[in-house]
Amino acid sequence: MATSPASRRDRRRTAADAGLLVVAAAFVLPLAWVVLSALDPHASLRVKVPDGVTLEHFDAILTPEITFTPLLNSLILCGGATLLTVVCAALAAYPLSRFRSRLNRPFLLTVLFATSLPITAIMVPVYALFVRVNLIDTMQGTVFFFAASQLPFAIWLMKNFMDGVPRELEEAAWTDGASSFQSLLRIVLPLMGPGVAVVTVFSFVMMWGNFFVPFMLLLTPDQMPASVSINDFFGNRGMVAYGQLAAFSIVYSTPVVLLYVLISRRLGGGFALGGAVKG
């Protein structure tokens, strides 16, 4: 007996829902372990409801040496590098979006190729270069490299968002005597706020969780960011302070969550510029 189309659709919908539940569980279980283990006095690798609730793990990690200084270093490194990345990406994307040249496509393809380079493949020459120019074990050198590593993809994203801003709005500003730089600052960037927010969040998150770069370029323990200091919770011979690790992970994730919340309005905004060029 042949099944009806409605029955087949219901089965496909059920299968899709089951697949989504499996994917959701794969994301929820690690988060549940972090939250439960941070409150469990006998935390382990198992995801289980704690027998009791304790804040001892937070008390143990909330010290300048373990948490506050590494978090401050992370904010300095990632905040400075994100600002530098967004500014340079906007300045590089503007001529690619607004001016036509035979070099635009080769340049964009080169940028796209640069995004696929593994960071480990270029760390050896970068390390040698930083030693020569006295940038090794410096915060500013790490900021520069963070920005350079994120810049190719940031340019690509920024250029695509910038293409959505009508050129007619800039031409009206040029008629009133504005320069290209003024039109970029006063017209293009304000109108592509969601795009700037996306580039900012993406760049900050990628830098915030980067372990390898600061581990290679910074040598002084007092300059290490939180992404490197989290390794201290893994002791010798497989011993791990699971409760403290979970508590530190919650504190470590807080700046990224706050950043997303602060600019979530911009992320949800639209360009809605169709009527701006009519009349």
Q: What is the pLDDT of residues 235-268, one digit of tens each?
A: 665 578 889 999 999 999 999 888 888 877 656 5
Mean pLDDT value of segment 29-39: 89
Q: Helix, strand or coil for residue 271?
A: coil
User: Which residue do the tokens 């696929």 mark?
Assistant: 116
Q: Which helix (H) or strand (E) holds 14?
A: helix 5-39
CA angle centred on 39, ends 33 and 43, rounded to 5°: 60
> CA Rg, the chain, in Å?
24
DSSP 41: T
Mean pLDDT value of segment 36-50: 85
Q: Is the pLDDT of residue 89 over 50?
A: yes
Contact 249, 33 (CB under 8 A): no
DSSP class per residue in 151-214: HHHHHHHHHHHHTTS-HHHHHHHHHTT--HHHHIIIIIHHHTHHHHHHHHHHHHHHHHT--HHH
- Report residue 3's pLDDT band, with 50, 70 and 90 as the boundaries: low
> How much is the pTM?
0.82
181-to-26, 210, 222 alpha-carbon distances in Å: 47, 33, 40
